Amino acid sequence: MVAAVSVSVMFSGTMAIPSNTAYAYSSSKASSVISTGKKYMGTPYKFGAKAGQTRTFDCSSFTQYVYGKHGVKLPRTSKAQSKVGTYVSKNNLKPGDLVFFYSPVHHVGIYIGNGKMLHTYGAGGVKITNMNSSFWKSKYKTARRVL
């Protein structure tokens, strides 16, 4: 059972996400997050892209920016993002969950449903990718729910 928890810590008008907090899933908020992320389709990938700007993204600056637009404050790196929110097993993923890859973690995307994620990695910039492709399936590590 997941309980809704009130979080009273605020930073710059966004909610800080402690790692030990359970969240009641919000499909409407997930839809809004995904819609915001899709507005940046094709935005170029740049490793180490500066946080808060939208000319280029790396994977974690993208998720940090998109979730931040919806009041969810995420840390800057994918490794740090993989420690916030609530653990979700791969077979219980819901749209809006953060999905993480490699060991140690060094890639993050936004799960959008049907085995697909919205992320940025290499050529083509922000894109939708099938997580069940042989490449990504073999790299999957974990997932977290922050909505």
Please say if the pLDDT value at position 39 is more than 50.
yes
What pLDDT was estimated at residue 1? 39
**Which helix H or strand E contains 80, and what residues bound it?**
helix 78-81
CA atoms within 13 A of residue 52's CA, in its CB half-sphere: 1
Please say if the pLDDT value at position 11 is more than 50.
no
CATH architecture for segment(s) 10-145? Alpha-Beta Complex (3.90)
In this prediction the pTM is: 0.84
Average pLDDT, the chain: 88
Instruction: Give the confidence band of 24 by pLDDT, cuts at 50, 70, 90.
Output: low
Interval 105-115: pLDDT, tens: 999 999 999 99
Please say if the pLDDT value at position 128 is more than 70.
yes
Interval 42-89: pLDDT, tens: 999 999 999 999 999 999 999 999 999 999 999 999 999 999 999 999
**Residues above pLDDT 70, as percent of the chain:** 83
**Amino acid (one-letter) located at 52:** G
What pLDDT was estimated at residue 23? 54
Q: Domain map of the chain by residue range?
A: 10-145
The Cα 100–Cα 124 span in angstroms is: 20
